[in-house]
């Protein structure tokens, strides 16, 4: 029988199971995480970064949108998983964050023509992007804008494409007593994905929580 005094930290084990998605450049990735902390940003966890790489690879993504560039951790994971020559379009209000991300992408060996960094408000930029042209959209931004971004994602994704919203549980959505605009917006996402038959959704506890959905039709 196992020693009941020994506790298994499943979350910690899962987070550290694969380490950084690019072991060769783990130092660069750790530096990017430290820089994010200095800027007051929350990076995706190592677990989530590995999942993003896997998902991008599993659908053989060639065109991805990222909303919320940060210091480049999630973007680098997506680039790592994409097909060779695939292009990441990353949107952020802060041009400084994008400069930092570009440095990380360069240090990891990604060619400059594989990234398109756009400084601006996502809800101003997304309407200018092409219909049905993207394989995956990863959103890590202001949760209050998530419902409007979901509407954009439905137009932008190809059938079979994926939308991923980061931070599902960070808003307090799971607590009925939390009723601020971020938690309310996240609950709206939950309802829309569950009730709209065009989406095939799932909710994962990885990192701060992920809403994940595949676009199976567009009625």
Residue 14 is predicted with a pLDDT of 66
Residue 145 is predicted with a pLDDT of 95
Model pTM? 0.87
Residue 17: pLDDT over 80: no
Nearest to 64 by CA among 48, 80, 50: 80
Residue 4 is predicted with a pLDDT of 44
Note the pLDDT tens digit of each residue in 118-137.
999 999 999 999 999 999 99
Beta bridge partners of 63: 87
> Taking the CB of residue 119, how many other CB atoms lie within 10 A of it?
16
Residue 3: pLDDT band (50, 70, 90) is very low
Phi, psi (5° rounding) for residue 153? -60, -35
Note the pLDDT tens digit of each residue in 85-116.
999 999 999 888 888 889 999 999 999 999 99
Residue 24 is predicted with a pLDDT of 55
The encoded tokens of residue 158 equal: 């190809």
Residue 10 is predicted with a pLDDT of 66
CATH number of 10-215: 3.40.50.150
Residue 26: pLDDT band (50, 70, 90) is low
Check: CB of residue 115 under 8 Å from CB of residue 155.
no
Separation of alpha carbons 18 and 34, rounded Å: 19
Question: Among all chains, which residue has been given the structure tokens 């991008």?
Answer: 56
Separation of alpha carbons 31 and 117, rounded Å: 21
Note the pLDDT tens digit of each residue in 166-210.
988 888 777 788 778 888 999 999 999 999 999 999 999 888 889
Write the DSSP string, 87-138: EEEEEES-HHHHHHHHHHHHHTT--GGGEEEEES-HHHHGGGSPTT-EEEEE
Compute and round to an integer the Cα radius of gyration of the chain.
17
Q: What is the mean pLDDT of residues 158-163?
A: 98
Q: Which residue has the higher pLDDT, 144 or 21?
A: 144
Note the pLDDT tens digit of each residue in 32-63.
777 767 777 778 888 899 999 999 999 999 99
Residue 15: pLDDT band (50, 70, 90) is low
Residue 11: pLDDT band (50, 70, 90) is low
């Amino acid at each position: 029988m196992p020693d009941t005094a020994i506790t298994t930290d499943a979350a910690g084990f899962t987070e550290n199971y694969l380490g950084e998605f690019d072991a060769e450049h783990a130092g660069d990735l750790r530096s990017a995480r430290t820089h994010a902390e200095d800027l007051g940003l929350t990076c995706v966890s190592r677990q989530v970064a590995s999942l993003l790489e896997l998902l991008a690879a599993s659908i053989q993504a060639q065109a991805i949108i990222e909303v919320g560039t940060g210091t480049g951790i999630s973007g680098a994971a997506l680039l790592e998983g994409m097909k060779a020559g695939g292009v990441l379009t990353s949107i952020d209000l802060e041009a400084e964050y994008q400069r930092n991300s570009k440095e990380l992408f360069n240090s990891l060996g990604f060619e400059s023509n594989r990234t398109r960094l756009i400084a601006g408000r996502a809800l101003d930029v997304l309407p200018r992007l092409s219909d049905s042209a993207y394989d995956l959209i990863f959103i890590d931004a202001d949760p209050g804008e998530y419902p409007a971004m979901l509407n954009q994602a439905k137009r932008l994704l190809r059938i079979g494409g994926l939308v991923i919203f980061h931070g599902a549980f960070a808003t307090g959505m799971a607590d009925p007593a939390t009723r601020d605009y971020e938690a309310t917006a996240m609950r709206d996402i939950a309802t829309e994905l569950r009730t709209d038959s065009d989406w095939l959704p799932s909710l994962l506890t990885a990192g701060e929580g992920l809403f994940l959905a595949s676009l199976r039709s567009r009625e």
